[in-house]
Structure 1
Amino acid sequence: MSLFQTKAWQDAWWEMWGETPGFSLVHPGEGGVSGLYLDRYRMYGCLPVRCLQFVGTNYRRVSTPRTEYNTAFPSVSDQASDVIRRLTSEAWTEAVFRDVREDAQDLPILEGLAETQGWITRTVAKDTAYSVDTKGLFQDYLAGLGSNTRLKLYNRRKVLESLGDVKLENAWPDRSDEFFGLLNRFHRVRWGRDCFNEKSLRFHQRFLEMVVGESGVPELSLLICDGQVISVVYNVCYKGCVYNLQSGYLENFHRKIALGTLHLGYCIETAFGNPALTMFDMLAGTGKNDNYKTRIATQHVELRSVMVVKGPLLKILYRLKGRAG
C-alpha cells in the first residue's frame, strides 16, 4: 500500500474534485486499493462516454495532482473477485487505469479479463518511477554514484556553507502556508506558472492534515542559508518510505550549486539515518533539462496507463484510430 491509497489522499481528492459534474463514486478506496468512480461526458460533444477511473486520476477533463502506484485488486483472492464482478457488471463504456505498476497483478488481471469479455485494451502512457534504497549506509550510497552526481548531491555543501549558516527546518505544521507560497514562487520563476493552483493547494493541506491520523509524517523541508530560504522539498513519510512529492528552489542562486539536487541530498541522508525508513521514493517525472533521477536512484519501477474499451461504438472508433496511426 502506497501513500496514494491512504484514506487521507483518496478522501481529500474526492472532497476537492468529486463534485465535478458527471462524476459519481463507484467504490471508495479501502484496504490498500484505489477507489473507482465514473466520469460521464460527451466525447467530441456528441458521443456519450461513461469512463471508469481511479480516484485521484482523470484522463480527459480535469487536471489534478498526480496519483501514482494505483491498484484496483486486493491481494486477497475473494476480494479481487469482487472487483472483477464489479467491472463486468458496472455500466461503463471505457475505463482508464493510470500509473499502474508493471510488476503488479493489475495488468495481467485486466488483460485476461478483457480477452474473455471481448474488450479492447490500449496502452495510453508509460513512465518510470525512481527511488533510493536507504537500508544501508549513506557513505556507501555516495560511493556508488558517479563523480559529477556525488559533487552535486553532496560535495557542494562546502560551497554552500561558505556563504553563511546553513540549516534545515520542517515547515509542518505551523509554516505550511509559507512553504507552499515559496514553492509556487520558485515554480513561477522556473516554469512560468504556479506549482499548485488554489484548489490543489487546498487538497494538499487537507491531505496533510488527515495523513497524520494514518501515521504519516509530513516533511516540508526548508533549506536555509544565511537566514534566507533558498530551496523547499515536499516529502511525506509513510510506512517506511519517504515520498518526494515536489520541490522548488531559488533560480540562479550560485553557479557552482545545483540547489534542487543538493537539497535532495540532505533529505536522502536524513532517510538513511532513520532506521524506520527503507526507501526514498522520487516517483515518476523528470527535471526541466534532463532526467536527474536516473543518476540518483538505485532502483526503478515501470508504470503503465491502460485503457479498456467496452462500448461497441468506442471499440469501432479506437480500432479505426489504431489503423489510422
Structure 2
Amino acid sequence: MSLFQTNAWQDAWWAIWGSTPGFRHIQSCEQEVSGLYQDVYRLYGCIPIRCFQFIGTNYRRISTPRTEYNSLFHGGDTVSGQEPAFTELLDSGEWTEAVFRDVREDAPDLEILRRLAVSRGWSMRTLATDTAYAVDTRGSFQSYLAGLGSNTRLKLYNRRKILEGLGTVALENAWPNRVDEFFDLLNRFHRVRWGVECFNKESLEFHRCFLEQISKDGGGPSLSLLLCGDRVISVVYNVCYKGCVYNLQSGYVEDFHRKIALGTLHLGYCIETAFSSPTLQMFDMLAGTGKNDNYKARLATQHVELRSVMVVRSWLSKILYRLKDGTG
C-alpha cells in the first residue's frame, strides 16, 4: 500500500473534487485497493461517456495532483479470489470506458484486465507509460554516494562546501506551524521557473486537508526548508509513510549560484536524513523528470514501470479509437 491509497489522500481528493458534476462514487479505497468512481459527461459536447476511474485521477475533464501506484486488487496470494467481485462490478455497471492510470507493471492488475477484456470482447489501449524512481536507504549513505557518477555526486553532496561558505546552512520542517509559508514559497519558486504556480487554490486546499489527516494513517509530513543564513533558498515536499519517504514536489531559488544545483543539493540532504533513520527503507522520487534532464534516473537505485490503460466497452467508442490509433 502506498501513500496514495491512504484514507487521507483519497478522502481529501474526493472532498475537493468529488462534487464535480457527473462524478458518482462507486467504491472506497480499502487496504491496497484504490477507490473508484464514475465520470459521466459528453465528449466534444455530443458523445456520451460513462467512465470508471481511480479516485485521485481524472481523464480529460479536470487536472489534479498526480496519484500514482494505483491498484485494483490486494497484493499477495489473494488476488485470484478478488477477481470475481471486480468482474461482477464491471459486468453489472453501465459504462462506456474505464481508465486506470499509473498502475504498476509488476503488479497482476494489468494482466487480469487484459484477460477480462479478451473474454468480454472489450478493447484495451495503452494511454501512457512512465517510470517511478526510488533510492533504497537501508544501507549506508556513504556507500550510496560511492555508487553514483562523479558529476551526480558533486551536485548531490560535494557542493555543500560551497553552500556552507555562503552562510550558515540549516534544515527545518515547516510542519505544522509554517505550512502557509512553505506553500507560498513553493508556488513562488515555481512561478519563476515554470511560469505557473505549482498548486492552484483547489490543489492547495487538497494538500492541506491531506496533511491534516495523514497522521491518522500513521504518516508524517516533512515540509523541508533549506536555509542559507536567514533566507529560505529551497523547499522539498516530503511525506513519510510506512517506511518510505514520498517526494511529492520541490522548488528553489532560480540561478542561486552558478556552481550549485540547488534542487539536487537539497534532495541530497533529504536522502541522507532517510539513510540515517532506522525506520525508513526507501526514498521515493515518484514518476516524472526534471525540466532539463532526468536527474531522478541518475540518483535512483531502483525503478518501477507504470502504465495507464483504457478498457473500451462501447462499440462506437471502439470504432472511434481504432480510427484514432490507426488500427482500424
C-alpha offsets along residues 199-231 of structure 1, whole Å, 9 cap, x if unaligned? 000000000000011110100000000110000
Q: CA deviation at 1:30?
A: 1.3
Counterpart for residue 276 of structure 2: 273
RMSD of equivalent CA atoms: 1.0
Between the aligned partners of 1:90 and 1:223, the Cα distance in structure 2 is 50
Which residue number in structure 2 is paired with residue 167 of structure 1? 170
- 2:4 corresponds in structure 1 to 4
Runs of 4+ in 1 over 6 A off after TM superposition: none
Query: 1:71 maps to what in 2?
Result: 71
Cα deviation, residue 320, structure 1: 2.0
For 1:306, which of 306, 309, 325 is the aligned residue? 309
Q: Which of residues 264, 267, 289 is equivalent to 1:264?
A: 267
2:20 corresponds to: 20
Which secondary structure state, in structure 2, belongs to the residue aligned with residue 96 of structure 1?
A: strand
1:184-199 equivalences in 2 (<5 Å): 184-199=187-202
**Alignment of 1:150 onto 2:176:** no
Query: Could you tell me how far 1:24 is from its partner in structure 2?
Result: 0.3
Partner in structure 2 of residue 40 of structure 1: 40
Give the 3 Å change call, closer, same or farther, for CA 27–133 of structure 1 in structure 2: same
Give the Å deviation of 1:323.
2.3
Q: CA deviation at 1:88?
A: 1.9
| Superposition map of 1:226-265 within 5 A | 226-265=229-268
Alignment-mate amino acid for residue 305 of structure 2 = E
The residue number in structure 2 matching 1:208 is 211
Structure 2 distance, partners of 1:227, 1:39, is: 48
Q: Distance in 1 between matches of 2:89 and 2:146?
A: 50
Describe the superposition over 1:31-73 as per-residue Cα deviations: whole angstroms up to 9, x where unpaired. 2210010000111111100011000000100000000000011
More off after superposition, 84-93 vs 242-251 = 84-93
Mapped pair 1:109 → 2:112 = yes
Map of 2:96 onto structure 1: 93
- Check conservation: 1:74, 1:80, Cα contact below 8 A: no
CA distance in 1, matches of 2:272, 2:287: 21
Where 1:300 maps in the other structure, the secondary structure is strand
Q: Which amino acid aligns with 2:205?
A: R
Greater shift after overlay, 83-92 or 128-137?
83-92
Counterpart in 2 of 1:182? 185
Deviates most, 303-312 or 25-34: 25-34
- Percent identical among aligned pairs is 72
Classify the secondary structure of the residue corresponding to 1:262. helix
AA in 2 matched with 1:186: F
Per-residue deviation at 1:81?
2.5
Deviation of 1:78 (Å): 2.9
Cα deviation per residue 1:220-245 (whole Å; 9 max; x = unaligned)?
A: 00000011000000000000000000
The residue number in structure 2 matching 1:321 is 324
Instruction: Tell me the amino acid that sits aligned with residue 167 of structure 2.
Output: G
Structure 2 residue aligned with 1:141: 144
Question: What is aligned with 1:52?
Answer: 52
The secondary structure found in structure 1 opposite 2:326 is: helix
Distance 1:31 1:298 in 2: 27
Structure 1 length normalisation: TM-score?
Answer: 0.98
TM-score, normalisation: structure 2: 0.98
Could you tell me which residue of structure 2 aligns to residue 282 of structure 1? 285
Contact 1:184/1:196 (<8 A) preserved:
yes
Compute the displacement of 1:324 (Å): 6.8
1:122 equivalenced with 2:134 (yes/no): no
Q: Which runs of 5+ in 1 are unaligned?
A: none
SS of alignment partner, residue 321 of structure 2: helix
